[in-house]
Amino acid sequence: MTEAAAALEDARFGARQDSRHEDLANDERGPAELAEWTRITLLLAGSDDVYDPQGDVVVQAELAADAAAAAREAELREAMRIAARADELQALRELGILEQTEPRDGDEAVRDELTRRAGGYVQTDVDAWFAHALAAHLGHYRDPAARQEAAGLLTPPVLAHAALLAGLVRLVPGADVDELAFAARLATAEPEAAGALAAFLTRARSNAS
């Protein structure tokens, strides 16, 4: 309480000093500080408590509001990033050179954005791009942690397609992606069966080794 009272007196003194200077008379910081220390002093009046911001509901409400505003700003920045990346991938698709770029961290959300823009329709070229990148460990999928995370972000057909591609390439090294177009059809029609086939191919190769 003594520290709060002393701070209040300092704020009052500062406010009186500022009022004597025309260039500081309209400065809102002084009155705001005076009002805050007045509030804190009244909050502690009649007690021996030491001021603790953790127990000040006003301060905690302000901190919560600041945190919420920061979260909204972060969400907005992320939405803008996703939209810009979706525009970029769409432009590459239209130029027919999507396969010449590699996926980046967060592109799974970009896939969702492209699907939303398409009215919910599955875009086979985008899904095939993801599957090939995942199978060949391209872009950020070089990181095992990114591949593991993708398992919870991409759809079963994409994951099954990637697993089947990886199994087929191990079986026939040097196989061209165009030769394996049937893998996408299998994964789209029967993702569970395609996944089972990929596991079988992996097991068969391990046994052969």
- What pLDDT is stored for residue 26 in this prediction? 53
pLDDT tens string, the chain, 209 residues long: the values are 466 566 656 656 555 555 555 544 455 565 666 667 677 666 665 555 666 667 666 767 777 888 888 999 999 999 999 999 999 999 999 999 998 999 999 999 999 999 999 888 878 899 999 999 999 999 999 999 999 999 999 999 999 999 999 888 887 777 776 778 888 888 888 888 888 888 888 777 666 65
DSSP state of 155: -
| Residue that the structure tokens 């052969």 belong to | 208
Domain-wise residue ranges, the chain: 2-49, 99-208
Q: How far apart are CA 206 and CA 82, in angstroms?
A: 40
- What pLDDT is stored for residue 14 in this prediction? 58
Closest CA to 93 of 65, 70, 123: 123
φ, ψ dihedrals at 185, nearest 5°: -65, -40
The identity of residue 11, as a single letter, is A
Given a contact cutoff of 8 angstroms between Cβ atoms, the answer to whether 165 and 129 are in contact is: no
Helices (H), the chain: 2-19, 29-44, 57-95, 107-117, 124-136, 144-150, 156-171, 181-189, 191-208
- What pLDDT is stored for residue 43 in this prediction? 61
pTM above 0.75, yes or no: no
CA angle 120, 124, 125 (to 5 degrees): 120
- How remote is the C-alpha of 8 from its chain's centroid? 44
Q: How far apart are CA 194 and CA 185, in angstroms?
A: 10
Other beta carbons less than 10 A from residue 87's beta carbon: 14
- What pLDDT is stored for residue 49 in this prediction? 60
Stated as kind and residue range, the H or E segment containing 25 is none
Instruction: Give SS3 for 37.
Output: helix
- What pLDDT is stored for residue 4 in this prediction? 58
Given a contact cutoff of 8 angstroms between Cβ atoms, the answer to whether 44 and 2 are in contact is: no
Q: How far apart are CA 112 and CA 108, in angstroms?
A: 7
